[in-house]
Structure 1
Amino acid sequence: MGRTRDRGRPCAGRDLPHRDPSTRAAPIFPRHHQGTSMTSTLDRPAAADVPAPTASAAARPSLPDPWHWAVTGASLLAVLAAATSLNGVVDAWTWFLPVVRTLVPVLLAMALTRTLRLSGVLSALVGVLALVGSLTAQFFPRQSILAIVPGPGTSLELQRLLAQAEETVVSQVAPVLPGAGIFLIVCAALGLIAILVDVCATTLRMPAASGLALFTVLIAPAVVKPNGVGMSAFLVTALAYLLLLALAQWRENRLASGGARASSGFAGRSVIIGASALAVTVILPLFVPGFTSGAFPQGARMNVWGNATGLNPAVTLGNDLRNPTGFGRIAYSTNSDTPLYLRAVTLEDFSGRRWEPDQRLDGRESGVRDIGAEQGAPESVPDGTTVFTRITTQSYASPWLLSPYAPEGVTDLSGRWAWDPANLSILATDGGSTARQSYLVQSRSAALTREGLGSIRPSESDSVPEVFTELPDDTPDIVRTTTDEVAGDFVNPYDKALAIQNYLRGPRFTYSVEAPVDGGYDGSGMDVMARFLESKSGYCVHYAGTMAVMARAAGIPSRVAVGYTPGSPTGDTEQGPAGTELREFVVDSRNAHAWPELYFEGVGWVQFEPTPSRGVVPTYAQQAFAPVGPRADDTDALNPGGLPAGGRTGSAEETAGAEDGTQAGGAQDEAQPVAGLLAVAGIALFALLPLLLRSARTRSRRRSVAADTPDGTGAATAAWAETTELAGDYGYPLEPTDTPRTFAGRLGRDARLAGSPVASLARLRTAYEYEEYAEHLDVIRPVDGYAGGRGGNSLPVAMLARPVAAPRWDDVETVTRALRSGSSWPTRVRARLFPQSLLNRFRGTVRR
């Protein structure tokens, strides 16, 4: 009877969790047992004879779902894969650690809420709260409470970072420079997208819809990057999306089968469909005319926001200087005998909150092969020399063309360009840029002397456009009063300009790229200049802007030029026009610079260098300052006087500035390992989570086996469950149709167990069989219609129960050691770090 019933309904049909004693006290025996004696092996009733589930059984909670961890992990990989398209929008891989530090806590918190079997709405809410805490810990640590709760001052800091991000977006072209503001936007956006992807794929169980969220990550690179999303980022994102679909389908199959191992045919179909789709995506553009000029997945950048500068004249220069590694390498070769500045654009309108270049499209002259004279400049430069400069931009992309001042013509340039007679800036008019250009600039350099500039009288009011002389009404008083104190005693423009330059290069000012950030005045605008004059610490934007504003307050037309300092020589040379020898130099983002240009009647625009430790001071401004013209209080010009404190232009200030920059860079370098360690710790915790969960369940079962209960209820079941799951982890899984005897026999044979492991396995199996099938028979009562019930002979209890030794955890450990010693090293690692049993822990039909 027992064997017949085993064939008809394998023992694997029973649930492993402990049964309620009330449901096991009075089993119902089938009628065909009348007149028969009990066999040594007791059997379960046939399926047809099992009574309907009670109300309490029907009300039991639904099957737990441990497989959501895999789908959440796939969601993390999918969002990170889509984020690779940001390389080229933001400087390559600088976004990775901040994004990982944001996404891992968010998705981990959401997965834990599902493990606790909380509602889907609560899971999404926990994800949003985790996102707020992660962003607070990264970007607002000084304003936070307990490092993760926004505290007083967070809103003000948020406004500052958003303003910084706005300036980056408005004033830069891809790739923009890394900064706290732009990272805050990126991390917040990707965090929200990760929550949406996880909710669609896991909570709503609609993984296909999560592709729309991933697609939104690719929109910005498709629009901004010069070559679109890029094929590599597109392929990685598509593969990660297919993996997410596959794991979500695998989870659905597991849930539908009650936790049993499901067919993997869907994986093969997914691979075929995904490979076909990717092949079409890659191959089709090769045969479609004009496809490579599009924006997605690869093609030309769409210019939807108009032209932008490749150098942000307010904040970007500071980010350039704070970046320890330069990028955007530019090479140029020149025959100039003096250090050469490459100028991209000038800033002359100081009336706004943020100083930006004026494109002046209506006033530009098309064609740059021949460039005319600048407004207000003399038609011919006395004692001037012609300079030839060949510039190779490589990856530097900007609609503003780099050239030495003052350009007379540009050749070998691709695209349509126009020049501005007001400042000789050169701008692309067809949406093009300087990227991968190699062109030759012919410019004219004037031979300026201290004596010649000192003899120039103040210029007429109409010599240059008013935009170069205007000061807004809200110009801070500190600007005007400081100008009067520094330059009010002098008459000639040159003496005033030199006094202002030497005041800013004096010992009271220090060069620092961090002080404006810490002090909250990083950027441009009149209020920034006032804060700079109070703190007396900043970098080139502050020095150049302040000198330009003070020069206007002193009656000298001025503007701020943005470009690059001379850079470093490579030692290579090339042949230029007319047999000239051109010496090669290189610059990168660390050479980004701003400097003032002041207007002198009869000479034109003259460069000055007020920033200590940066650039090169022109020869006409290097001498210890003594005015060459009369002072305002001189009556006979016989006693010109001087400014002793202003003559310091030597290395003392440069050394102090260099040390300050080194210390700031060192502090940043020290912070980077800490951030990296936090990211690594988060990833390690996420990777070790399966091991921790599996170990916790093992400890719980061990306590159950060791518990001293009167009847030992559940101890053998827990020991047998641990044994079968560990066997599955080491490659010997329990099949749904296995009985305890067939599984134990196959395990001993396949794992080549011998000696004590075989004896331990037998004891565990026997204890489990009797706990599940025999221990309840000592409380059996007669049943109607069954022999011994109501007039029948009672079945003797002694025939139904047999004493069995209590299970021992030592037997479990013996079998485990035997399985481990007989397995390969990769199998051991997989069994410990990625246990298969973790995903099968809540199977509906298990371990028989």
Structure 2
Amino acid sequence: MTTTLSRPASAPAAGPPAARRAPAADPWHWSVTCASLLAVLAAASGLNGVVEPWTWLMPVLGTLLPVLLAMALTRALRLNGVLTALVGVLALIGALTAQFVPRQSILGVVPGPGTSLELRRLLAQAEETVVSQVAPVLPGAGIILIMCAALGLVAIIVDILSTTMRMPAASGLGLFTILITPAIVKPNGVGMAAFIATALAFLLLLAAAQWRENRLASGGARASSGFAARSAIIGSAALAVAVVLPMFVPGFNSGAFPQGARLNVWGNATGLNPAVTLGNDLRNPTGFGRIAYSTNSDTPLYLRAVTLEDFSGRRWEPDQRLDDRQDGVVEIGAEAGAPRTPPPGSTVFTRVTTQSYASPWLLSPYAPVGITNLNGDWAWDPANLSVLATDGGSTARQEYLVQSISADLTREGLGAIGPSDYDDVPEVFTQLPDDTPEVVRTTTSEVTDEYVNPYDKALAIQSFLRGPDFSYSVEAPVDGGYDGSGMDVMARFLESKSGYCVHYAGTMAVMARAAGIPSRVAIGYTPGSPTGGTSQGPGGIELREFVVDSRNAHAWPELYFEGVGWVQFEPTPSRGVVPTYAQQSSSPVGPRADDIDVLNPGALTDRGDRTGSAAEPSGSAADDQAGGAQDGTTPVAGALALAGVGLLALLPLILRTSRTRSRRRAVTGGEVSPGGSGAATAAWAETTEIAGDYGYRLEATDTPRSFAGRLTRDAGLTGDPATSLGRLQSAYEHEEYADHAVPSAAASTQHPAGPAALPVATLTRPVAVPRWDDVDTVTRALRQRSSWRRRIRARLFPQSLLSRFRGDARR
């Protein structure tokens, strides 16, 4: 009997194979680190347009390379993961010190005694750049320092997640944070090229991380798990969702992500940035930053926030002149250059309610002589009467009263004024930079040479810009590459003869200086729309109510006339309100009041030129019209939005169901999976993952038998479910560990020695056949023994999708 029950000589090989020993070294982490570098750089490419294109590349490379190299060397030395992160942070500090504060450093990389002071200076420079400059901003040392520091920290996080913690999928959050800035700042969002580059680099990072894991799991041997195909499918699905879904999600404005879809992360509280957002808001069809004001002014009232005077450099920005400002605004003194005997004028009272408008620059009519009921610390500038918060506050949710003086100006009175004495005003209002384009000087001469008085020259320049050769457009500057401000922008505008209010106002101010007239550019709002409401002002006077929002944002020039002061003009064709004194004698009597230099081109076709200060419908009427226009589209948009959100929520369920169906086909059809596993392995993998979804995880130390026993005990499986689990376990063990070289009974009968030579074949235990019905039986039992919360979580948020390796279920 002993002889007949003996296993053949090859039987010892049929036992479970010895676990592969992990390789002594891990050289594959270098590939993941390199992929992390490429991923961060790809995401950073979206910053082109936030700053001047590619000016950030070399400083960023000078930061990321030493940081990631130091971390990779730390891993090569097999140091602790915490030390790897610490080394990365120290390398980042050293790289930033070497690039931005070398004079204050010790040995070039260690921060020295003067480092903190220099850093504060650079950070203040960066803050000024963010607040004042037009995107793309100039690559100053401060803003580049912020970029390098932020990208360096993101690179450390991405590398730790993907290499040290071996969670490459989570590193995508770091890449997403990089894309937030261009998505908010750039008019057209991240940009398709940067978005695709980032997506591809992220997939490359996932592939490199999986390749490393396969090598580690196989002891250094080449292995494949079909990860590339799965990642391509999942990546394509995610990309499709990212492109289509934002079209229907509330909060996105217009267009498809990432081109044109801009999420308003700040809500409706917003202000008028004097340089950064003016051109961007022109292309925004949605009004925001609502402001209400009531006034007794008989003429259309412009609300002014700040002025631009320095026309040098590539970006025009306001000068805060903090050292020259006067504290307190209850009483505001005379402006520099104001005549000792002011011209006759009327007192205007204006009550401003800012609501959601938030800005450090206070809105007020020109020229204010006192402001009351204002919260916070404010100071006024004697050079231009602008009012600025000095305590970090803003205009948000303020209600204040402005008393101002409106000069009574006439064509005859202004026409009698001779050239101004430059000593009457600060030099900044008369200077022209050395790089003023020749086309500006030549055009000015052609337009103004036949006139002598400043008023006649100003009217000639205004008429030239409002003439039939010029057109209002917000697209032509973008297509032509001259969006924003700067002397080169003014030159290109004069050649193309198409632009928006910034170009018209800036060009008239520059041409006025070339003609010998001091000038500046005011930034604020046109008069807006009357609501029909009234309120009571000081002394019982009646104040008429108006509303404005971002669609009324505007820029206009102010020119200086001796004995009068600063006078407003309107060169932008068919926009704003041309004052009576600035109209040509051939023009119709009364102001043109197409009061929509709306930083909103989409509204231009809906509103024609109208006269009078009530050119726009009242606020309530406008709201009613807007609501009525949306009634027909809101249900459809809402349904599409809900459908998109529902699709996104069901994505884990869809992916999990697709994998279950694939395994069912492998079991019922006897197919073999791409990884080389058979039907029993597919059935066991599905069983262990379903158990994990219901809270019974497969531990790394579990054998099939120990896991089946623990699951039977913890889940309380009895009867058919326990029998089905036992069959699944037995089939998997036989498929995974049995000696498949043992001859079959048919083969043994043909052996030369006869059946007696291999009697074991006649006593082989029947092979357990995997059945999908067993999987369904175990699944139903687990579902019945779980709470309704656990059932929902298992279906909609299956934990098995978070498994990094499909081979975990093979234990």
TM-score w.r.t. the length of structure 2 is 0.59
Report what 2:611 is aligned to. none
The equivalent of 2:128 in structure 1 is: 170
Distance 2:647 2:44 in 1: 15
- The AA in structure 1 aligned to 2:407 is A
Instruction: Please tell me whether the aligned partners of residues 291 and 355 of structure 2 are also in contact (alpha carbons under 8 angstroms).
Output: yes
Amino acid in the other structure paired with 1:197: I
Deviation at 1:530, TM superposition (A): 0.8
Cα deviation, 1:232-275, whole Å, max 9, x if unaligned, reads xxxxxxxxxxxxxxxxxxxxxxx9xxxxxxxxxxxxxxxxxxxx
The corresponding residue for 2:164 is 204
Given the alignment of the two structures, is residue 472 of structure 1 paired with residue 433 of structure 2, yes or no?
A: yes
Matches of residues 381-530 of structure 1 in structure 2 within 5 Å?
Answer: 381-429=342-390, 432-530=393-491
Indicate if the aligned counterparts of 1:139 and 1:180 stay in contact, CA closer than 8 A: no
Of 30, 46, 56, the residue aligned with 1:121 is: 30
For the 8 Å contact 1:512–1:660, the answer to whether it is kept is no
User: Which residue is equivalent to 2:79?
Assistant: none
CA–CA separation in structure 1 for the residues paired with 2:338 and 2:279? 32
Q: Deviations over 1:737-764 (max 9, x none)?
A: 884997599599967876xx99876765
Match of 2:281 in 1: 320
- What is the SS of the residue equivalent to 1:26? helix
What secondary structure does 1:452 align onto? Answer: helix
Check whether the contact 1:770–1:804 (CA below 8 A) recurs between aligned residues: no
For residue 353 of structure 1, give the secondary structure of its aligned residue in structure 2. Answer: coil
Give the conservation status (yes or no) of the 8 Å contact 1:778–1:800: no
Q: Once the 2 structures are TM-superposed, how far is the Cα of residue 812 of structure 1 from its aligned partner?
A: 5.3
In the other structure, the counterpart of 1:599 is 560
Quickly say closer, same or farther: Cα 1:471–1:800, change in 2 above 3 A.
Answer: same
The aligned residue for residue 801 of structure 1 is 763
State whether residues 172 and 311 of structure 1, in contact with CA within 8 Å, keep that contact through their aligned partners in structure 2: no
CA drift of 1:325 comes to 3.1
Q: 1:377 aligns with which of 332, 335, 338?
A: 338
Q: Per-residue deviation at 1:343?
A: 1.7
**Conserved 8 A contact 2:705-2:729:** no
Assess, with a 3 A threshold, how the Cα gap between structure 1 residues 722 and 23 changes in structure 2: closer, same or farther. farther
Superposed CA deviations along residues 3-22 of structure 1, whole A, max 9, x for unmatched, are xxxxxxxxxxxxxxxxxx99
CA distance in 2, matches of 1:607, 1:621: 8
Structure 1 residues 726 and 411: CA distance shift in structure 2, 3 A? closer
Question: For the structure 1 residues 821 and 438, does the alpha-carbon distance in structure 2 shift closer, same or farther, using more than 3 Å as the test?
Answer: closer
Q: Matched residue of 2:763: which SS?
A: coil
Contact 2:135/2:276 (<8 A) preserved: no
User: Alpha carbons of 1:416 and 1:581: their partners in 2 closer, same or farther (altered >3 Å)?
Assistant: same
Q: Which residue of 1 aligns with 2:656?
A: 691
C-alpha displacement of 1:543: 0.7
In 2, Cα distance between equivalents of 1:23 and 1:844:
31
Matched residue of 1:391: which SS? strand
For residues 465 and 581 of structure 2, the distance between their equivalents in structure 1, rounded to whole angstroms, comes to 17
Per-residue Cα deviation, 1:177-234 (whole angstroms, up to 9, x for no partner): 9989999999998776454324335533499xx99x99xx99x99xxxxxxxxxxxxx
Could you tell me which amino acid in structure 1 is paired with residue 415 of structure 2? G
Contact kept, 8 Å, 1:740 with 1:765, in 2: the verdict is no
Deviation (angstroms), 1:344: 2.2
Cα contact 2:417–2:454 (8 A) shared by 1 = yes
Answer yes or no: is the 8 Å Cα contact 2:553–2:598 preserved in 1.
no
Q: Look up the equivalent residue of 1:374 and give its one-letter code.
A: E
> What is the rounded CA distance, in whole Å, between the counterparts of 1:748 and 1:377 in structure 2?
89
AA at the equivalent of 1:802: T
SS of the counterpart of 1:610? Answer: coil
Instruction: Confirm or deny that 1:536 pairs with 2:488.
Output: no
Q: Structure 1 residue aligned with 2:306, among 338, 345, 348?
A: 345
Distance between the aligned counterparts of 1:336 and 1:129, measured in 2? Answer: 60
**Superposition deviation, residue 553 in structure 1:** 1.8
The Cα of 1:314 is off from its aligned counterpart by 3.6
Q: SS of 2:12's equivalent?
A: coil
> How far did residue 545 of structure 1 move?
1.0
Q: Aligned equivalents of 1:597 and 1:753: distance in 2?
A: 91
User: In the alignment, is the contact (CA less than 8 A) between 1:177 and 1:320 conserved in 2?
Assistant: no
What TM-score do the two structures reach when normalised by structure 1? Answer: 0.56
Paired residue secondary structure (2:520): strand
Distance 1:464 1:408, change over 3 A: same
**How many angstroms does 1:441 deviate by?**
1.8
Q: Would the alpha carbon gap of residues 507 and 779 (structure 1) be closer, same or farther in structure 2, given more than 3 Å must change?
A: same
Question: 2 CA distance for matches of 1:442 and 1:798?
Answer: 109
Deviation for aligned residue 1:428: 4.3
**Quick one: distance in 1 between partners of 2:501 and 2:521?**
10
In 2, the alpha carbon distance for the partners of 1:740 and 1:651 equals 84
Deviation at 1:662, TM superposition (A): 5.6
Q: Which among 540, 548, 555 is matched to residue 509 of structure 2? A: 548
Q: Residues of 2 paired with 1:743 and 1:489: CA distance?
A: 103
Structure 1 residues 469 and 133: CA distance shift in structure 2, 3 A = closer
Residue number in structure 2 paired with 1:245: none
Instruction: Tell me, yes or no, if the aligned pair for 1:510 and 1:537 is still in contact at 8 Å.
Output: yes
Q: Which whole-Å CA distance do the structure 2 matches of 1:764 and 1:419 have between them?
A: 82
Question: In structure 2, which of residues 539, 550, 562 is the aligned counterpart of residue 589 of structure 1?
Answer: 550
Shift of 1:437: 3.7
Distance in 1 separating the partners of 2:658 and 2:29 = 22
The residue aligned with 2:200 is none
Structure 1's unaligned 5+ residue stretches are: 1-20, 29-43, 45-49, 64-116, 142-152, 160-164, 222-254, 256-308, 627-645, 665-671, 781-793
C-alpha distance in structure 2 between counterparts of 1:316 and 1:773, whole Å: 68
> Which letter maps to 2:656?
L
Distance in 1, Cα, partners of 2:535 & 2:785: 66
Q: Paired residue for 1:74?
A: none
**Deviations 1:539-563, CA, capped at 9 Å, x for gaps:** 2111111111111222222221122
| Cα distance, 1:609 vs structure 2 | 0.7
Does the aligned pair in 2 maintain the 1:313–1:594 contact within 8 Å? no
Cα deviation digits, residues 21-74 of structure 1 (max 9, x gap) = 99973279xxxxxxxxxxxxxxx9xxxxx9xx97xx5535699xxxxxxxxxxx
| Structure 1 residues 753 and 349, CA gap change in structure 2 (3 angstroms) | same
Q: Report SS of the residue matched to 2:441.
A: helix
**Aligned equivalent of 1:25, options 3, 11, 15:** 11
Q: Equivalent residue of 1:691, what SS? A: helix
Change (3 A) 1:507 1:719: same
- Tell me if structure 1 keeps the 8 A contact 2:309–2:521: yes
Cα distance 1:808–1:371, how it changes in 2: closer, same or farther (>3 A)? closer
Q: Distance in 1 between matches of 2:716 and 2:536?
A: 78
Q: Separation in 1 of the partners of 2:316 and 2:300?
A: 27
Q: In the alignment, which residue of structure 2 is the partner of 1:329? A: 290
- Number of residues of Structure 1 aligned to a counterpart in Structure 2: 597
- Percent same amino acid at aligned positions? 58
Looking at structure 2, the residues matched to 420 and 759 of structure 1 have their Cα atoms a distance apart, in angstroms, of 87
Is the 2:372–2:400 contact (alpha carbons within 8 Å) kept by the matching residues of 1? yes
User: CA–CA distance in 1 between the matches of 2:677 and 2:337?
Assistant: 101
SS of 1:571's partner is strand
Asked if the contact 1:483/1:554 (under 8 Å) is kept, the reply is yes
Q: Secondary structure at the match of 1:356?
A: coil
- 8 Å Cα contact 1:416/1:428 also seen in 2: yes
Report the CA distance between 1:771 and its aligned residue.
5.8
Deviation of 1:620 (Å): 2.0
